[in-house]
Structure 1
């Protein structure tokens, strides 16, 4: 299996498919590169080299106790990109992965990044504070941590339902998607799953967004129940210099179904433009 060993000895698993201009995919919490299987095939079939890694603690990467923070995640991504010597890169990040690619593009890219795409991404910052009164109260994230610690197996099953919008009237529920969410979630070691909550909710990325000097597509479902759009995409687009906003009526947080089809088409159009 292909791995990159980081400076602190963590082994980061990655997949590398197709050939052409590189598209690098960064997954959400608590998933893995498996969340990108449809995109890996679609983008590779469209003539791109598609790289997707498992964040530390997730998937097949090392089960880490330390380094579960946004800056270390971005450094790990840099290790993958530099190991493969990728240039003219298009970064695509979903949810927590959106925070990861934004931090990487802002602080570690070293001229390797040409475009950025985020989908349902956590920047600029999720948690409510005096400077971010529209944010989500810290108690909500405390509840997530408590659920992960108490019974993460059941929590992943419960979380998958609003993640994919399966709790909405008329939704076509996929038990397979719920089961696969649980499967990927159970691959995360507890310390990494727990600490990542702080990383995705409390990391202030206003400065990161302002520092990005390449085109960025900021995409989000308008019915995102996990990362509220008013405190995410609608704020981020006001901060970036070269941004395009694309929202999807009725679409959830999880990339699935009609939303997945539309988003993937928009990503390919943005890359080709």
Structure 2
């Protein structure tokens, strides 16, 4: 079932709501949309979970405002979905940029009923390098990606996606995955890339109260595995689960192992 949720600043967010049972909210990464979780929604709903999977503002079928693409605005969007969905207790999983947004949500809405937080190849605590943080892309590299998005967005996204998977994927799958990024708005793609460049979550990691599971590919070339190690060191109630043969797209590189691990962790909480 698909429906729209209106945010506090009057943006209509599209949400795919499938299955019955304990709810899990899945937040997609940049520059994708909720369809990226196709193989997780199938596995989770077959095991009795309700999957609430939005398109972030600017992406997929959601509204595409000109501005307000910082992590706090998008965390507020998740809160609007939680309230509309009428869930008292739920799990939250975020992939890549979605992981960063999930962290901001967990620290901004500590009394929300969030039970477990799943960070999946998260673009956190900072996606870009800083004076005391030599990990990830440089700000200059992200600026170059942004500039190329202004000039030729399909080519920019194709180049970015070359390092998504560590295993071989079929050409039809690769084309389908590429097209997900083109469903986004150009300005939403650019504004969220600016957020990836500028946001820094390091100071709030110790504020996370929910039990946190960090799933990350050891061969990730977009969000290095060091990100996961830092998250695990700083988040008090956290567990790091490495995926040895996965790149950034661990949800597909080791699809079966990933889905089974996610289900085991969810079932352990029942």
TM-score range with shorter-chain normalisation?
Answer: over 0.9
Q: Provide Cα deviations, 1:107-130, integer angstroms capped at 9, x if missing partner.
A: 124231000001110111122122
Distance 1:178 1:258, change over 3 A: closer
Counterpart of 1:72 in 2: which secondary structure? helix
Distance 1:28 1:99, change over 3 A: same
Write out aligned runs for 1:27-106 (5 A): 27-106=28-107
Checking the alignment, whether the CA contact within 8 Å between 2:93 and 2:117 is kept in structure 1 is: yes
TM-score by length of 2: 0.94
* Structure 2 unaligned regions, length at least 5: none
Checking the alignment, whether the CA contact within 8 Å between 1:160 and 1:178 is kept in structure 2 is: no
Matched, 1:267 2:262: yes
User: Following the alignment from structure 1 to structure 2, what is the Cα–Cα distance between the partners of residues 205 and 100?
Assistant: 10
Distance 1:3 1:52, change over 3 A: same
Write out aligned runs for 1:12-27 (5 A): 12-27=13-28
Write out aligned runs for 1:207-222 (5 A): 207-222=203-218
Distance 1:4 1:109, change over 3 A: farther
User: Following the alignment from structure 2 to structure 1, what is the Cα–Cα distance between the partners of residues 128 and 251?
Assistant: 26
User: Following the alignment from structure 2 to structure 1, what is the Cα–Cα distance between the partners of residues 9 and 40?
Assistant: 30
1:2 matched to which residue of 2?
3
Checking the alignment, whether the CA contact within 8 Å between 2:165 and 2:253 is kept in structure 1 is: no
Cα RMSD (Å): 1.4
Checking the alignment, whether the CA contact within 8 Å between 1:157 and 1:179 is kept in structure 2 is: no
TM-score by length of 1: 0.93
TM-superposed deviation, 1:135 = 4.2
Checking the alignment, whether the CA contact within 8 Å between 2:19 and 2:48 is kept in structure 1 is: yes
